[in-house]
Amino acid sequence: MTPQIVPSVLSADFANLARDVQAIQKAGAQSVQIDVMDGHFVPNITVGPVVVEGLRKATGIYLDVHLMIENPDHYLEAFAIAGANLLTVHYEACKDPGETLRHIKKLGADAGMAIRPKTAASVLFPYLKDLNLALVMTVEPGFGGQAFMPDMLKKVASLRAEITQQHLSCKLQVDGGINANTAPLAVKAGADSLVAGSAVFGQKDPTFAFQSLQKLVANS
C-alpha cells in the first residue's frame, strides 16, 4: 500500500476552506484531516460539526476528523451526522475506549484512536482489532507548525510490529511536524498515513507542495 499524505485543514484558509479542500482533492489527495479542539483537552479551540457539514456538502473527499476533545462520546453522533468518514478519539480522553469505538462503528463511521507523546504505544494493542486507524502524535496536540519528535518513531515501529503480528488491516497514521525531511522517517518506521498541515496548506502553492510530498513518500 502506498503511504498517503493527509492534508490537515488546520493550516488552510478558513475564509476559503471549501475551495482549498476541493483544490487539494483535485491534486490527488484521498482524504483531509479536520482537527477539532475544545480548549480543554488541548489549549486551543478550532471547529465543530458545522464545519464538517459544510465541507461534506462541498466535496466528496474522505473526511478524517481528529477529535482532540474531552468527553468525545458526547459529540460522536453530531460529527457522524455532519458527514465525518473517520472519527479518531484520544485514548487519554476515553473513559471506556472499547465502548467508544463500538459507538463510532454503530454510527457508521470508521474508528480511529490516537495517543499523545507521553502515552505508551502498548495501550492501543488491545484495541487494534477494532480500529480502522491508530494515530501516533509526533508533537503535543494543540497547535500546527510544531517540530517533529523523532523519539516517537519507536512507538510507530512498535505499533507496526503489533499490527503485523495480529494480521490486522488497521492503518497506522503519524501526525505532527511532517515535512520533506521527516515524512520518509515516518514511512520507514511503518506509517502508511501521514498528516501534513503547514507543509501543504501553509505553503505558497499547496497543490505543488502536496504533490511533491506525496511523490516523496510514495518513493520512500
The residues assigned a catalytic role are: 35, 175
**Nearest Cα residue to 37 out of 179, 137, 161:** 137
Give me the residue label for grid cell 516517537: 152
CA distances from 179 to 32, 106, 175, 213, 217 (A): 16, 35, 11, 7, 10
Pairing of strands 193-196, 4-7: parallel
**Nearest Cα residue to 105 out of 124, 126, 133, 125:** 133
